[in-house]
Structure 1
Amino acid sequence: MGIAMVLDMASSATPDRLAMGRRSDGTTYGRLDELAARGATLLEELGAGHVVFVGVNGPVLPVLMFASARAGIPLAPLNYRLGADQLRELIERLDQPIVVADDVYVDKLSGLSHRIVTPSQFLELARTTERATGDRSADDDTAIVLFTSGTTSAPKGVLLRHRHLLSYLLNTVEFGSAGEEQATLVSTPPYHIAGLGAVLSNIYAGRRMVHLPDFSPQAWLDLVREEEVSSAMVVPTMLARIVEHLDGAPADTPSLASLAYGGARMPQPVLEKALTAFPDTGFVNAYGLTETSSTIAVLGPEDHRAAFADPALRGRLASAGRIVPGMQAQVRDEDDVTVLAEGETGLLWVRGAQVSGEYMGKGSVLDAHGWFPTRDRARIEDGFLYIGGRADDTIIRGGENIAPAEIEDVLVHHGQVREAAVIGVPDDEWGERICAVIVPNSEVHDDAQSFRAWCRERLRGSRTPDDVVFVDELPRTPTGKLVRRDLVDRICAVA
């Protein structure tokens, strides 16, 4: 039994309900089921060993996901923003790939020896193909291959098997729980686990998906209002742009009952402004990794409201929330063995049926008892999980380990700071110096010494940045993750 059962159940229960698209011309569950069944036959006829998708999130993604699942063929969505050479290198790592690429990316893949079709060509061919019968996938087959963003190293192909994805879904989503009037706005990219998780969770719940392939704050707000969207997910950079666009005005989105965010650290000032702009919307912080088939911890709407209303609980807005059902978490010391007491900061390990921890060509990194090393620094207090950044980001200054997040959380509360990142740069005396890289709110701002004094007043002296550098923007992935290695290279190059 594979993930194709999700569409089987939804199309059997509500074949005439809209699965995706606008209310005026959307696609029903019955029609989506038909396209996926015919697409499965087409993929078999094309001799696909993998289905590669290079394009923005849209109606073809659910068709490809369930067609490939029924055919027992892994789907591999790739980051369309990568360079041509990078895309070709990733495609060549896959066995017998058939590529489905948006028209605008076909030229980017010129010279590739494998079959390339556009989404419209794929759908047209599928319509004239016989409907596949049955489901050729098994629980332990690979359903999805997702390449990590590679913020600290070369991308690794994460293998997500059908059983991993189904475990996440069955533990966190109730079948058919959405009303027919409910709709979700999908603006996360298809090569991110959140984009794929949205397909599975919303179809399983019976919620209509509305796609926004090209994000802008105004387009996002317009679509929420026009289609009376009831739920949405954004990455922190999107929410920051929406808040900045509103400039203190209310969002005026009465239908929006739930707004989830995740994919990177959320600056608390941005979140507080968003809670003010969307007073009737329930906020959800979803923390997860590609290797864990999406969400492993959630800070729900009531937690947000309680923390926002009570200054004594305000710090919980910086947490990732509580571990979801079916998952276990523990914080270990740097030796990767010793389990730390509650409140102590160390490395986060997780375990559960939804965890893969398996990489293409490299095997599994789970320990002997099935625990996965997230490589995130974390602590657990009163049942709430707090993420302190990647272990690889740790700055070692004079033999002392310093988490950049601790300093960044202070800097983002400065009224003149739009964004801030803290990195370690080589130093002959200390090993590494602490460098704060700041994107100011305006061209007129305090000098570096004033920002150092701001930190010194709120942190121990050893946490005070040695250097403060001002830049126009920080290098980030499309999902908002800071690419620290690029920032270190940039700062060292001008030092």
Structure 2
Amino acid sequence: MKGSNLYRLLADNLNENADKVALYDARRSISYSELISEADVVARYLTSIGVGPGDRVVVHLRKSIEEVVAMFGAAKIGAVVANVHFQWTTEQLLYVAKDSGSSAIIVGKSAQKGLANRTLPEDVRGVLVFDNKFYLAGSQEDGSNQDKPEKAEEFNAAAEDLAMIIYTSGSTGMPKGVMLSHRNILIGAETVIEYLNLNRNDRLLSVLPYSFDAGLNQLTTMLMVGGSVVHQPVIMPAEIVKSIQAHEVTGFAGVPPLWNQIVRLLRKSPEALNSLRLITNTGGKIPIDILESMSETFPKVKIYLMYGLTEAFRSTYLLPEKFQKKLGAIGQPVPNSQVFVIKHGEGLAGPGEQGELVHAGPLVSLGYWRQPALTQKKIRPCPELIDVIGDTPVVYSGDIVRVDDDGDLWFVSRADDLIKTSGFRLSPTEVEDLVSLSGLVCDVVAFGVEDDDLGQIVHLAVTEADGFSSAALLTHCKKVMPGYMVPRHVCVWPGQMPRTASGKLDRTTIIANAQINS
């Protein structure tokens, strides 16, 4: 395995894989040696404006070779990378730059125009722009009048040092930064390599953003084994299928809305994907009707259902050989982790019981940037586990899961999403699964609405599939659901439902708008 820190993950490929293609873009590809060389250019520019070890650098670039170049240029000199999704606005970009106390911002030409007439946070020493090549804002665009050192000195960051800050949008408030050490990132890569059996011959299609922990992990695993990454910036199912075929992709990770679209496409227009040997899901549960079609859609492909937290990378995975028997389960702990299901005030949940998932071990992050109170609330010793792991801190996921007789875990709901109606506690996921069985909807979000008599009642937001009508859907629900679970209202969403930056359904926005239209 390669890498004593994030930068070494790339640089240690120089001897064995110098001429091998590391990354593929629509416009070009780049070898490991070329990637190292281009990262040095960014490192030199950052050094020239006084950026050094421990300083934060915001990266706001389209999914591309240049985005990776920027990240590893900053990592070379020991700076901390704060990668911001390309679709985030100027306001969000400035918020992250200020909150992180960043010394530099790396952006594309269009984002630089958005910053041109804005007051930058006081810690920002310069803006590095990419427009066919990198240059400092305010200098000539070919960089000819910009002094920079001939070579940037590499900083040998320690494993426990801060490497990255991943900003995540919660249901309330501004994005919060999750702090990842070099050790977190390296062990995260080793973990996924082990259970997916990744090797240097693998070529992963990268759809998920690098500002999302699962997307970042695709890159770091390939760097660690000396494999290749194919960037797929256009998230259209037909284009994804073409890329898999054109680049002979061996592995592909997606989120539920994307798998929904891809499976529906391939059911209508089957395509040979002979190179593909594994696919993975993260970021939520795939609708049950899509899960039932996946083995037929991908007959020779290993299907991994996974669960993870930004605060702890991966937590669990379901063995592919269990996929057909346990559609939708999230499985057992990944290597290098300790995952437990606790019943608050009682102890561990047993077979058939539910509780909150907590995660301990070396994958647990350093906490939240400049939010010690939130860190102490979310990452702390667990009283129910004192006799098991002592005072080792755990991440409290806020997710309710069920333990089956084999010890495999099943996602039930976010603890704060449970619908309380007629004395029952309903999982939105359970409602959504039963609705999906109708075949009448593409995407579905179930949520509770306050009711004077019942506490809450179930409402749905859906996008239409062929043959949809609200009456037909409610008829289906009455056949497959107990009375207290049957939705009282269906909001039909026009067009596609909004997604978060990581591609998951934006439940907060969807529910807020559906409630207005209910």
**With structure 2 as the length reference, what TM-score do the two structures score?**
0.85
CA contact (8 A) 1:20 1:26 kept: yes
CA contact (8 A) 1:323 1:385 kept: no
d(CA) in 1 for partners of 2:64 and 2:468?
42
Task: Write the mapping of 1:108-119 to structure 2, written as runs, cut at 5 A.
Answer: 108-110=114-116, 111-113=118-120, 114=124, 115-119=126-130
d(CA) in 2 for partners of 1:235 and 1:464?
27
Equivalence for 1:494: 517
CA contact (8 A) 2:461 2:511 kept: no
Equivalence for 2:486: 464
Equivalence for 2:508: 485
d(CA) in 2 for partners of 1:357 and 1:331?
22
Residues 198-248 of structure 1 show CA distances to partners (whole Å, capped at 9, x for unaligned) of: 111111111111111122222212221111112222222222222233343
d(CA) in 1 for partners of 2:194 and 2:503?
29
Residues 103-155 of structure 1 show CA distances to partners (whole Å, capped at 9, x for unaligned) of: 23323333142432223443876997433344342222211111113245532
Per the TM alignment, residue 320 of structure 1 is displaced from its structure 2 partner at its CA by 1.6
CA contact (8 A) 1:425 1:488 kept: no
Q: Does 1:380 align with 2:403?
A: yes
**Cα distance, 1:194–1:482 mapped onto 2, change above 3 Å:** same
Per the TM alignment, residue 187 of structure 1 is displaced from its structure 2 partner at its CA by 1.3
Per the TM alignment, residue 348 of structure 1 is displaced from its structure 2 partner at its CA by 0.9
**Cα distance, 1:184–1:46 mapped onto 2, change above 3 Å:** same
Q: Does 1:18 align with 2:29?
A: no
User: What amino acid maps onto 1:437 in structure 2?
Assistant: A
Match of 2:293, SS state, is: helix
CA contact (8 A) 2:25 2:65 kept: no
Deviates more, 1:476-485 or 1:143-152: 476-485
Match of 1:367, SS state, is: strand
Q: Does 1:277 align with 2:277?
A: no
Equivalence for 1:185: 205
Residues 313-362 of structure 1 show CA distances to partners (whole Å, capped at 9, x for unaligned) of: 2xx120122211111111122x3663221221221111110111611121
Q: Does 1:367 align with 2:380?
A: yes
d(CA) in 1 for partners of 2:366 and 2:401?
19
Task: Write the mapping of 1:65-104 to structure 2, written as runs, cut at 5 A.
Answer: 65-104=71-110
Equivalence for 1:310: none
CA contact (8 A) 2:447 2:459 kept: yes
Per the TM alignment, residue 89 of structure 1 is displaced from its structure 2 partner at its CA by 1.9
Q: Does 1:31 align with 2:34?
A: yes
2:322 to 296, 303, 315: 303
Residues 155-181 of structure 1 show CA distances to partners (whole Å, capped at 9, x for unaligned) of: 211111112112222333269x86665
Match of 1:93, SS state, is: helix
Name the % identity.
25
**Cα distance, 1:171–1:185 mapped onto 2, change above 3 Å:** closer
Q: Does 1:243 align with 2:253?
A: no
Task: Write the mapping of 1:7-406 to structure 2, written as runs, cut at 5 A.
Answer: 7-21=10-24, 26-48=29-51, 49-110=55-116, 111-113=118-120, 114=124, 115-119=126-130, 120-122=132-134, 129-173=149-193, 181-292=201-312, 294-304=313-323, 307=324, 313=325, 316-333=326-343, 335=344, 338-356=347-365, 358-363=367-372, 364=375, 365-368=378-381, 369-381=392-404, 382-406=406-430
**Cα distance, 1:453–1:281 mapped onto 2, change above 3 Å:** same
d(CA) in 1 for partners of 2:262 and 2:147?
39
Deviates more, 1:283-292 or 1:147-156: 147-156
d(CA) in 2 for partners of 1:154 and 1:391?
21
d(CA) in 2 for partners of 1:174 and 1:127?
45
Residues 287-322 of structure 1 show CA distances to partners (whole Å, capped at 9, x for unaligned) of: 212111x22222243333xx1xxxxx2xx1201222
Per the TM alignment, residue 75 of structure 1 is displaced from its structure 2 partner at its CA by 0.6
**Cα distance, 1:43–1:411 mapped onto 2, change above 3 Å:** same
| Structure 2: gaps spanning 5 or more residues | 136-141, 382-391
d(CA) in 2 for partners of 1:427 and 1:40?
58
Match of 1:139, SS state, is: coil
| Structure 1: gaps spanning 5 or more residues | 308-312
Q: Does 1:430 align with 2:454?
A: yes
User: What amino acid maps onto 1:326 in structure 2?
Assistant: N
Per the TM alignment, residue 441 of structure 1 is displaced from its structure 2 partner at its CA by 0.9
CA contact (8 A) 1:35 1:127 kept: no
User: What amino acid maps onto 2:21 in structure 1?
Assistant: L
d(CA) in 2 for partners of 1:139 and 1:154?
29
User: What amino acid maps onto 2:435 in structure 1?
Assistant: L
**Pairwise CA RMSD of aligned residues?**
2.7
**Cα distance, 1:129–1:257 mapped onto 2, change above 3 Å:** farther
